[in-house]
Amino acid sequence: MKANNKKIDYQEKIQKAHYLIEYYISPLNTILDVNHSQSVFNELLNISQFTNVKRFDYKDESIRREFEKLYHLLRQVVKNLNSQSIILTNELLPLIDRIKTESEYLRGFHFYLINGNCYKEIQPPKIFVLTRDNIYNRFVHENTKEYFEQFKYEDEIIVVEDSQQTTDWIFDKSKYKEYLNKNLPIEDFFKWCESAVKEEIEDFSFDNFFMVTSLLFEDDYEITANGDGKNITVSNENTELVMPKLTIKRQVNVSR
């Protein structure tokens, strides 16, 4: 039980300790109680003293020898009891004491953990909160690191920048619209877009091109497909687009 070799449960351990104390240790304690005049130990001592006297009292040799024998046996018993008492004092009492102390802790752990008590109203011991408010504090680096560490549960998101990206070009819609308005009507809208964007960027991308073509969706214009059914092509270094030929002119009576 001392080493809990059988891995017995806490409750069972306490019951076992109680049982041992009640049935072995307490009776042994009563037997050895030197303060009680009628304890077995004291009675044995009395008999021993009595035999010690009586062994010299009788003339009959055999009676004297029997007393002598009894006296020595009693001395042996008292000696044995003393050694038991030493075991009780040196071994069992500290063990009981330890079990008692351990059981106080275990009961505490049990109470704290059971029924989720630890997450309820029980306040844990107060401990120091690290200060992070002074930026001139010489531990500000460590403290800030600690502060941010608590958010480190999420997986890191790595954003890889597209190194191929060209310099940003911002489509100036009003400028192109104005330019378009000046040139209306236009027979071939997409070709016009191509030449307009080319004026600004020699090696234009289709992103640039399509931004300019978005003028097509403005309310101010009337679009018609060219009747001859021919397509036109717009190309840059890498790609060639085949587009319908569209005519664009100012819409009459635009309602706003």
- Which residues would be at the binding site for another protein (CB under 8 A)? 3-5, 7, 9-10, 98, 101-102, 104-113, 116, 118-119, 122-131, 139, 142, 146, 149, 153
Q: Which two tokens stand for residue 49?
A: 């003293």
CB of 119 or CB of 217, closer to another protein: 119
DSSP-derived secondary structure for 199-219: HH-TT--HHHHHHHHGGGGST
DSSP-derived secondary structure for 25-70: IHHHHHHH-TTSTTSHHHHHHHHHHHHHHHTTT-S-HHHHHHHHHH
Q: Which two tokens stand for residue 114?
A: 């059971």
Phi and psi for 210 in degrees, rounded to 5? -70, -30
Distance CA 21, CA 29 (A): 10
CB-count burial class (<10 Å; 0-12, 13-18, 19+) for 192: buried
